Amino acid sequence: MGFVSEKNQILSKIATNDGHGEDSPYFDGWKAYDRNPFHPTQNPQGVIQMGLAENQLSFDLIEEWIRNNPKASLCTPEGANAFRDIAIFQDYHGLPEFRKAVAKFMGRVRGNRVQFDPDRIVMGGGATGANELIMFCLADPGDAFLVPSPYYPAFDRDLGWRTGIQLVPVNCDISNNFQITRAALEEAYQKAQDGNINVKGLIVTNPSNPLGTTLDREALKSLVSFINEKSIHLVCDEIYAATVFSSPGFVSVSEVIQEMECNRDLIHIVYSLSKDMGLPGFRVGIVYSYNDAVVNCGRKMSSFGLVSSQTQYLLAAMLSDDKFMEIYLSESSKRLAKRHNIFTKGLEQVGISCLTSNAGLFCWMDLRKLLQEQTFEAEMLLWRVIINDVKLNVSPGSSFHCCEPGWYRVCFANMDDGHGTCCTEKN
Ligand SMILES: Cc1ncc(COP(=O)(O)O)c(C=O)c1O
């Protein structure tokens, strides 16, 4: 009958290429946890999940708000009156009250030093969808984006798998605390040019995943100058903006471009509520672009990753509750500071240090002195001991494309205070 025997041959090349990046210790660690999840009483020998950047420290505040605002949840006696209006077909612009509330929230998280226009809010399915959406709008298959390394492992999948764009790492290392230098940017840019690769932009995470550090005003200005000179785009993934728990405070690219001359058509922000509000399951992702054409194109694309109207409705009410949001943001940051402090102090007591950080849901842990030799093979050997014997899922630096071995990302906010166990089984 002419059946094709090999599975791969009947599927598309794009679906079966390895662009998902699933063959990585980052995802292997999650699988190890899934196979044998720790539970304080039922499975005390299981793997503890410290590989998931979730923020579960302030759920009690959100739960209380939900209880106090039953109208905002449509599936309650109090909310059912609005059910029909919200359940019917929605267009890809999103509910006006949702866009307004998100714009206000984005401003609040940035200290109200900058205002966001609700008409520039474009929805995506989490920052994952938003990041892919912006790449789709800005680059063609084969084009490249520069990305400072170490970088979020799933960027390979999110930015490149379906769009066909490639990532060119900008190598950063401990010699200057992993800061992005102009020299490193120029080197990566030049290397791409030498390889005949068309560089369309630079994407940075600020605050950084995995470093937990923030870019200061000067650093941001220097990035904006760089992309301006090269006439390439700058995408700032700011999804950890409100996880800043100690000084220096967060500075957004949106503030910096108010203070300097630049072509705003090149500036785009990706945001989500997954980290700042701890709601990754709600899949709220945002592209905020200063470029009209990108807003228009992105909006058409957003049909593929709409946020459910029920979620929009609930969040519109929550995010516009000024009193609640003020309390939530301040309390969340305090709790993160406390957890970070307990965690890093505990590590210090056993002689382990971390890169100094002021944000994020993780630490960048320095285990170089525990490596048998300074190689990535030794890093993986140690990682296997940590996951198999110590039973902790932490993520090795190589999965973040770190250019030097011995660093591991360890997440500290996905465990509840009560019994130190993980509340989540999957991302
Ligand atoms: C830098 C960065 N961007 C994007 C994402 C994806 O976030 P979301 O859950 O909103 O899709 C993550 C998740 O860990 C991340 O760390």
The whole-angstrom distance between residue 355's C-alpha and the CA centroid of its chain comes to: 19
414 ligand 1 Cβ < 6 A: no
The whole-angstrom distance between residue 101's C-alpha and the CA centroid of its chain comes to: 21
Task: Please give the full DSSP string across 355-418, using - where no structure is assigned.
Answer: ---SSSSEEEEE-GGGSSSSSHHHHHHHHHHIIIII-EE-EEGGGGT-SSSSEEEEE-SSB-TT
280 ligand 1 Cβ < 6 A: yes
pLDDT value at residue 398: 94
Which residues are part of the catalytic machinery? Answer: 152, 237, 239, 275
pLDDT value at residue 421: 41
Share the mean pLDDT of the chain: 92
- 427 pLDDT band (50/70/90 cuts)? very low
SS3 165: coil
Tens of pLDDT, residue by residue over 210-244, are 999 999 999 999 999 999 999 999 999 999 999 99
Q: Give how far Cα 140 sits from Cα of 185, 197, 218, 427, Å.
A: 21, 11, 31, 29
Compare 39 and 255 and report the one with higher pLDDT.
255
pLDDT value at residue 7: 55
pLDDT value at residue 271: 97
Tens of pLDDT, residue by residue over 106-144, are 999 999 999 999 999 999 999 999 999 999 999 999 999
Rg (CA), the chain: 22
Domains, the chain, with CATH or none: 7-60+324-411 (3.90.1150.10), 81-321 (3.40.640.10)
Is residue 344 over pLDDT 60? yes
pLDDT value at residue 418: 61
Tokens of 23: 């063959």
Tens of pLDDT, residue by residue over 249-293, are 999 999 999 999 999 999 999 999 999 999 999 999 999 999 999
pLDDT value at residue 211: 98
> Ligand 1 mean position to 312 CA, how many Å?
19
Q: Mean per-residue pLDDT for 164-184? A: 95
CA dist 184 and 237 (Å) reads 20
51 ligand 1 Cβ < 6 A: no
pLDDT value at residue 423: 42
Residue from 272, 411, 414, 426 whose mutation best tests the ligand 1 pocket (most atoms within 8 A of CB): 272
Tokens of 121: 């809010």
pLDDT value at residue 268: 98
- 40 pLDDT band (50/70/90 cuts)? confident
> Ligand 1 mean position to 239 CA, how many Å?
7
Residue closest via CA to ligand 1's atom 3 equals 127
53 ligand 1 Cβ < 6 A: yes
